[in-house]
Structure 1
Amino acid sequence: MGFFSKDIHSLDDLFVHTLRDIYYAEKRILKALPTMVEKASSATLRQAFQSHLGETEGHVRRLEEVFRMHGVEASPVKCPAIDGIIAEAEEVASEVADPEVLDAALAAAAQAVEHYEITRYGTLVAWAKRLGRNDCATLLQRTLDEEKATDAKLTGLAETQVNMRAA
């Protein structure tokens, strides 16, 4: 089902499609984070990635709970956006030899991922409320809050440590 597929007839259909999109994205992020942990030279950045790995596992479980509550199968749909963000991060990382510059690149890539997730979860919260699914909105809001906190943490790390070392 493509984003503007004929299979999307209602806001509920769009809500489910977008849930499946972010479900794919979270699972893709779970696969990418261990490599980011391994490549980071900064212990603080490595710890931030490791911590977010655990959070992301929780996000997947929470999404599976939203699917269950909404009465639909928890199945992913391919998300070209997250694939592109991760592919770009991998390409840039493969071109950087200096470990401190690589840390800056990894932090920036992680923030691009966070920003994508923030837009998706913000939209899903709004749609869940509009559909009268405050139960789903509450779970999705928890994840949105965690994604915003991760983005703020990455910003702090970048501004106070990682970018300074790379310069």
Structure 2
Amino acid sequence: MATKTNTTAAQTTDASDIQSKTAEKDSSTMKVDNATVEKDEMKNAPLHKFFVDALKDIYYAEEAIVSALGKMQEAATTEELKDAFEDHQLQTKKHISRLEKVFKSIDEKPEKKKCDAIEGIIKEGEEVIKSTQEGSMTRDAALIIAAQKVEHYEIATYGGLVQLAITMGHDKAADLLEKTLQEEEDTDYDLTEIAETYINFEAEQED
């Protein structure tokens, strides 16, 4: 009889283990299903769609800025400004790579959307080159202002994107975007320093 009792107890334990494992499996499946539903809901949310759209916009803008900075570097008078534009161009290429990581972090494909705002700012910069004398400090002063208009657009964009990423819980994306925002602010400050150190004063002396 003792043997029979032990066998019955073992069978009861085995059944209990099976039920427990089945419950765990069902719970795990439910979590996966819930995560999928939440992910789909997030992607369909209006704020998420706007966030992705804004990323596509700045992704396009950064590509356009790389090209524009090459032209500005070539047109600049002083070596200091030429070097600043070259450094910013290299930095912008890093920003493009970082944006691709941002897309990946939110499970979106990197895509570009034409940015009319940056197109207008770049066109204005091209007009600056045409309307100023080659080799003059006036041209450098004007180029700095044109470049800072680009910077301010980027600062406004990245600043907003950082806050949206934080709001939606995209922590990795927020960290990446924050790094770029800080670098844009540093570049803007450096351009101001170059202008105020001597370029603006020498431009003022030109006939």
Match of 2:73 among 31, 37, 50: 37
The answer to whether 1:142 aligns with 2:179 is: yes
Normalised by the length of structure 1, the TM-score is: 0.93
Instruction: Determine helix, strand or coil for the equivalent of 2:173.
Output: helix
CA distance in 2, matches of 1:88, 1:9: 36
Q: Displacement, 1:92?
A: 2.0
Counterpart of 1:166 in structure 2 is 203
How many residue pairs are counted as aligned between the two chains? 160
Q: Deviations over 1:22-81 (max 9, x none)?
A: 001100001111111111111111111111111000000000110111111111111111
Q: Displacement, 1:159?
A: 1.0
CA distance in 1, matches of 2:50, 2:95: 20
Counterpart of 2:32 in structure 1 is none
Counterpart of 1:152 in structure 2 is 189
Counterpart of 1:3 in structure 2 is none
Counterpart of 1:90 in structure 2 is 126
The answer to whether 1:124 aligns with 2:127 is: no
Counterpart of 1:70 in structure 2 is 106
Instruction: Determine helix, strand or coil for the equivalent of 2:145.
Output: helix
Q: Displacement, 1:9?
A: 5.7
CA distance in 1, matches of 2:177, 2:201: 35
Q: Deviations over 1:114-137 (max 9, x none)?
A: 000000000000000001001100
Q: Which runs of 4+ in 1 moved over 4 A?
A: none
Counterpart of 1:56 in structure 2 is 92
CA distance in 1, matches of 2:71, 2:124: 14
Counterpart of 2:15 in structure 1 is none
Counterpart of 1:14 in structure 2 is 50
**Larger fraction in helix:** 2
Q: Note the residue ranges of structure 2 that are not aligned, 5 or more in a row.
A: 1-43
Q: Deviations over 1:83-128 (max 9, x none)?
A: 0000011012101115211101110000000000000000000000
CA distance in 2, matches of 1:92, 1:149: 24
Q: Which protein has the larger Cα radius of gyration, Structure 1 or Structure 2?
A: 2
CA distance in 1, matches of 2:88, 2:199: 17
CA RMSD of aligned residues (A): 1.1
Identity of aligned residues (%): 46
CA distance in 1, matches of 2:163, 2:65: 23
Counterpart of 1:5 in structure 2 is none
Normalised by the length of structure 2, the TM-score is: 0.75
CA distance in 1, matches of 2:198, 2:65: 24
